[in-house]
Amino acid sequence: MLAFAIALSMLLRGRKPVHWLFAAFAAEVALWYASQSLFGLFKTSIWVRVTAVLTVLLPQVAVHLFQAIVPLEHGAPPARLPRLAALLAIPMLALELSPYHDAPLALGVVYFYVIGLLAAALISLAVRGRRSASRAVRDRVRFLVVVGALATTFTLADFLSFLGVVLPPIGAVLAIVFLFVLAESLTRPRLADLYEMAGRSLVSTALAFSFAGIFYVFVTYVGRFNTMYLNGVLAAMVFLVLFEPLQTEVDRRIHQFFFRERRDLETSIADVRRRLSHVLERQEMVDVLLDGLERSRRATSCAIYLRDQEGNGFDLAGSIGRVRAGPDDGSSPLLARVPERIESLAARPLLDRLLQHASLSLEELSREGRATDVPVLTAASTLGALSGAVVLAVRGDDDDLVGIICVADDRVRDAFTPEEVKILESVAAQIGVAIANSRIYSRMKERDRLAALGAMAAGLAHEVKNPLGAIKGAAQLLDEIAAGAPVDGGAAEWIGIIIEEVNRLDRVVGSFLDYARPHAGNPVPLDVNGAVRRTVQILNSQQVEGVDVALDLAEDLPRARIDAEQFRQVLINLVQNAVQAMDGHGRVFVSTQPKRTPRSSTWTSQIAFTDKNAPSQEPEFVEVSVRDTGPGISQKVLKNLFVPFFTTKDQGTGLGLAISQSIAQTAGGSIDVHTHPGAGTTFTISLPVAVETLGTPRPVDVAPSAIDAIASRSASSP
């Protein structure tokens, strides 16, 4: 029954040829025992024949299965054993089906045929395993061969019953153990260590005993129904109800008893995870992790690397155990060295692999030694003393690699079982969350600091503005006096410079205050086309010759919701920037168009909201584009375009685009830039469409004089 169950479980887990062969082998073993039992029950000679045929077939299947476990290396000569076995099978079958099948000589021949072939199959498996380049395969095969040899020997002892010697059925038990071990090693990528295998068998056995106990109680004491079937059903129901909790409990207790080390790791990792959820500072997070791993006593060394801001590499954030940062200078032979930094370029294959897998056991990789892993292992050698560690990927919000944790235990080989690696992976995931949290926290702190600084600077600018007004008034007075009185020409020039510079300072301070104290103004449903037309008309009259501004306005443009004066301020900024970029030669095109989605991804949440509430085809945004045929914007300038005070102009304030962006964002929109070096630049403002309700104020337009005032304030060139 158990052998059948193992055969079935294999087919449920995989259907490769080796799985089918295994299932056939396990089924063969099952049938062999079954036919013997049936003979014991019915005493008919047919079952003797069936057993005999199965006996002949058993080593045949075993030969094929053992060959399939370690496939031949590429280019090796084909194996001869299966053919030899097939040749031997024919006379054996003939003998078993002949009338002389129970003659002692015939029994002896069949006995040696079975022993010989099983031994040959095991030896050939052992030889192949020894030749394998992979240490994992070598270990696994050695283990299998030992258990297989024991099972064969004891099973063959069962054969002695044919010769009249009766032994307890140790062979049957060992055959099942062998099938179980074989099945485990075929389905698991890594041979679990003996401890773990023993642990699993123990859990299964303990569960079997508990369930047998339940069944016994039903059959013996609750057996009033007097029907085995009903008792069976009831017992099965009790199993089903109890299975999960009982398995968990048995598992927990057995692991607590036998696998104290793993439990220590589990508890300390659980503790680390709990503490990490309250951590906001990076260094504290590193300390919590290292402290937890140290206390678990499961790692001799551990190092955590965090990605630098530019993303060019990973810097050592902390380490414990027998490692020390820095190059090996031989000063302390007990301390192995780990690098202070891992360069992304040098470790690329390792990092790429970590992007696909949550963890990598470098020891396992080097044992398996596949050609595809060579670049990864070469890259891992940059880890220095940790190149035999389990490397865990720490992922950030966007699933990118933000850190690497290396954990090693150099006291034992195969230091961490797959289950333990899973536990370590969970803590790496938590570190990823902690890093994201710490980033948000430091951004919030920085924002608060900037807000305080901004408030101070705005106060200062305000204080500067008043004396500036007084200086300008005084200078203008002097200018008027100078105009009437005969003063020397030098003085008039100085007065001119004072007024010019005061004007400039006034402009900078005014723009700064606009930026530092953003206010939504008075957002109204604005006729964007009308506003654009009027603004451009006035700008055209002011612009230098050689540049003209062309309009391409969409018809039936919905109104946008924004303060009219602020909108014009943005438009004037963009047009003036375009004109200045072209240095008097070229054209500026201003166009408007309705849009269903905003350009900037910053507003996706807003679309989702709108989509859910109004699934219509109505445009949701109005776009205004200002395109020029200027030189375009270099990458370096592009990066800083919206940074306050960034300017490439002698007389620029560097606040035009920063203010424009802040206005657009306050209105619920965005500004977007596309540039082609040598071919020009397009700035696009996206503004949300005004939802017109009964209470909405009437569309507003601003008098041309207001536009003049803004234009003169925004003009950054004299």
Q: Site residues (CB under 6 A) for ligand ADP? A: 573, 577-578, 581, 628, 630, 633, 637, 641, 646-649, 652-658, 681, 716
Say how many residues make up the chain. 718
Q: How far is CA 710 from CA 86, 511, 535, in A?
A: 99, 11, 10
Q: Which is nearer to ligand ADP, 477 or 638 (CB)?
A: 638
Q: Which is nearer to ligand ADP, 52 or 633 (CB)?
A: 633
Q: Which is nearer to ligand ADP, 428 or 641 (CB)?
A: 641
Q: Which residues contact 437 (CB under 8 A, 6 or more apart)?
A: 279, 280
Q: Which is nearer to ligand ADP, 121 or 633 (CB)?
A: 633
- DSSP element (H, E) containing 26: helix 17-42
Cα–Cα distance measured from residue 85 to residue 71, given in angstroms and rounded to the nearest whole number: 18
Q: Which is nearer to ligand ADP, 396 or 652 (CB)?
A: 652
CB of 578 to ligand ADP, least distance (A): 4
Q: Which is nearer to ligand ADP, 591 or 647 (CB)?
A: 647
CB of 518 to ligand ADP, least distance (A): 15
CB of 665 to ligand ADP, least distance (A): 15
Structure tokens at 657: 């685009």
Q: Which is nearer to ligand ADP, 233 or 679 (CB)?
A: 679
CB of 356 to ligand ADP, least distance (A): 41
Residue 359 phi/psi, 5-degree rounding, is: -155, 160
CB of 287 to ligand ADP, least distance (A): 43
CB of 673 to ligand ADP, least distance (A): 8
CB of 657 to ligand ADP, least distance (A): 3
Q: Which alpha helices (H) appear in 346-417, and where do they start and end? A: 348-356, 362-368, 374-380
Q: Which is nearer to ligand ADP, 406 or 581 (CB)?
A: 581
* 690-698 long-range Cβ contacts below 8 angstroms, 24+ apart: 690/524, 690/525, 690/526, 690/558, 690/559, 690/560, 690/561, 691/561, 692/525, 692/559, 696/524, 696/525, 697/524, 697/525, 698/524
CB of 566 to ligand ADP, least distance (A): 15
Q: Which is nearer to ligand ADP, 289 or 581 (CB)?
A: 581
Report whether 354 contacts 391 (CB < 8 A): yes
CB of 650 to ligand ADP, least distance (A): 10
Kindly tell me the burial class for residue 617, based on how many C-beta atoms sit within 10 Å of its own C-beta (0-12, 13-18, 19 or more): exposed
DSSP summary character for residue 685: E
- 235 residue type, one letter: A
Q: Which is nearer to ligand ADP, 250 or 633 (CB)?
A: 633
Cα–Cα distance measured from residue 180 to residue 2, given in angstroms and rounded to the nearest whole number: 9
Nearest of 278, 283, 282, 304 to residue 293 by alpha carbon: 304
DSSP summary character for residue 133: S
Nearest of 60, 64, 1, 53 to residue 27 by alpha carbon: 1
CB of 656 to ligand ADP, least distance (A): 3
Residue with nearest beta carbon to ligand ADP:
656
The CA angle 473-479-483, to the nearest 5 degrees, is 150
